[in-house]
Structure 1
Amino acid sequence: PSPVLDEARHAAPLAGLGALGACLVVLALRMNRPTPSRRGRALRRMLAEAREGLLSRSNGPGVLVSSVVVLAGHIAMFVLAARVTGTDAAVSRLLPLAVLALLAMSLPLNVGGWGPREGVTAWAFGAAGLGAGQGLAVAVVYGVLCLVASLPGLVVLAARWYAGLRAGRRTVTEPVVTGPGAQAGTYPRASPRAA
């Protein structure tokens, strides 16, 4: 129960009609343009590429399946975080809370997902009657689990760094003249990649 929800129900039809009217005005204006501008052509190309990459018959099913698998993984990790913190709520009750937390993480107002996720999860758990403190604990455990899940990537970065370091330690010889009338000699020096 929320007073905001009651007000939103009254305003939703008007907002929907306003959005529909705005879309019709934009469509009418686009139809009357004789030739698209340079930016318009670039935007059309970009949208056509995005449509081909995401919605085409060859790519669309793969994008959809991989998105569903990733979403299921995030929700499963959220439920695991809830269980670790001692939340005994049913998965069907945690599912909308997990989706809210994921939406909050996607806001570009965070540092590695930290920030809005904790606030929204605490608020959502409090609104669901599970306790804001419990929601904050779930969000923090979820963040730690995400951090731990990304640690195998550190192994890959370390292996690349080590391979680059080994490749950079090879030495090359080149002639050096040290002064007027000095004889040319050679000395080993590290390759430029090592520097």
Structure 2
Amino acid sequence: MPRLIRLLISLLILGFIAERFGAGVLEQLQQVDGRWLVAGLLITVAQVLLSAWRWRFTAAQLAVPLRPGVAVREYYLATLVNQILPGGVVGDAQRAWRHSHNTPRRGPAFQAVVIERFSGQLAMVALALVVWGYWRPGGALALPDAWFTGAVALMGAIGAAFAALALITGWRPHWLIDWWQALRCALLAPRVLPIQLIASILVAASYIGVYATCVLSLAPESSPATWLPLIPLVLFAMLIPASIAGWGLREGAAAVLWPLAGLPAAEGVSAAVLYGALSLVASTPGLIAVMRH
């Protein structure tokens, strides 16, 4: 999707939300408790350190060296770029490109970044699906069984068709085999997969924790048990590559989900705005990498 269209999508959704909930959001933001936001910033530090470790671990499985300090610095830079450019993957692409220039084998350097990101996205999607499957505020989010079964069957049929095509025609592109081998070594190997899953779930939990501090900073009247299950669903909406750093999609998802739980939409939108602002501030250490080059 062109960057201009992503920018327009973010602006259009934010404009609609500002027109609909602007007054309530401003009122909510005036009573923010900054102590919770400081706690959120501290969580982002642990988040980046753990993510950088996951990147190093993934690269090590592909025999690609990556020093701890370099991993942390480059991860901060990638986060900063993802915050300011449309798509949310430009920073990771440049992280892979920069790393590949310091290694004798460029292909595995790119594979390490893609697999590391895939591991993290997989954990976030899994958490969102668990919430989708078990959180039932009056059945508002319950998918019809037939629809869900049909979607799973369709995905299975597509996968089976590709597998059958590969077996019958012998279609095995060299690049596909290379990536499959990398995926097996760096993610699916029996000794690697548990470590990847644990690291990625912890990283996903840190994103949820940061968002929770944004909600808590608004001093909500409801208990965390009411709004905490909504957070993975809002974060899941940010994975859609149709905005700038999730702006617009995140606020729109919050505006829809909070009322489903009987909560004010303005509270959900306010927390989403705080999360976006906090994420941008948390990425500013990436400027150190910019100044060093």
Same fold, judged at TM 0.5 (above) = yes
Normalising by structure 2, we get a TM-score of 0.47
- Structure 1 residue 86: Cα displacement: 2.3
Q: Does 1:79 align with 2:215?
A: no
- Structure 1 residue 69: Cα displacement: 2.1
Report the structure number with the largest CA radius of gyration: 1
- Percent identity reads 29
Question: Could you tell me which residue of structure 2 aligns to residue 31 of structure 1?
Answer: 167
- In structure 2, relative to structure 1, the CA distance for the partners of 1:150 and 1:17 (3 Å cut) is closer
- One-letter amino acid of the structure 2 residue matched with residue 9 of structure 1: D
- Structure 1 residue 126: Cα displacement: 1.6
Q: Does 1:11 align with 2:144?
A: no
- In structure 2, relative to structure 1, the CA distance for the partners of 1:54 and 1:29 (3 Å cut) is same
Question: Could you tell me which residue of structure 1 aligns to residue 230 of structure 2?
Answer: 97
Alpha-carbon deviations, 1:84-128, whole Å to 9, x = none?
A: 122233333333211011111111111122120110011111211
Q: Give distance in 2, aligned partners of 1:64 and 1:17.
A: 26
Question: Larger deviation: 62-71 or 133-142?
Answer: 62-71
Question: Larger deviation: 11-20 or 65-74?
Answer: 11-20
Q: Give distance in 2, aligned partners of 1:3 and 1:77.
A: 26
Give the match's secondary structure for 1:112. coil
- Structure 1 residue 152: Cα displacement: 2.3
Question: Larger deviation: 58-67 or 104-113?
Answer: 58-67
Q: Give distance in 1, aligned partners of 2:236 and 2:141.
A: 20
Unaligned runs of 5+ in 2: 1-137
- In structure 2, relative to structure 1, the CA distance for the partners of 1:139 and 1:61 (3 Å cut) is same
Question: Could you tell me which residue of structure 1 aligns to residue 256 of structure 2?
Answer: 123
Whose helix proportion is higher, 1 or 2? Answer: 2
Unaligned runs of 5+ in 1: 162-195
Q: Give distance in 2, aligned partners of 1:26 and 1:53.
A: 23
Normalising by structure 1, we get a TM-score of 0.68
Higher relative contact order (CA 8 A, sep 6+): 2
- Structure 1 residue 81: Cα displacement: 0.3
Q: Give distance in 2, aligned partners of 1:10 and 1:64.
A: 30
Q: Give distance in 2, aligned partners of 1:12 and 1:63.
A: 28
Q: Give distance in 2, aligned partners of 1:65 and 1:128.
A: 30
Question: Could you tell me which residue of structure 2 aligns to residue 44 of structure 1?
Answer: 177
- What's the C-alpha RMSD, in Å, of the aligned pairs? 2.5
- Structure 1 residue 22: Cα displacement: 4.3
Whose strand proportion is higher, 1 or 2? Answer: 1
Q: Give distance in 2, aligned partners of 1:28 and 1:36.
A: 10
Within 5 A, what are the aligned runs for 1:35-184? 35-37=170-172, 40-158=173-291, 160-161=292-293
Alpha-carbon deviations, 1:112-161, whole Å to 9, x = none?
A: 22120110011111211111111110100111111222222224433x15
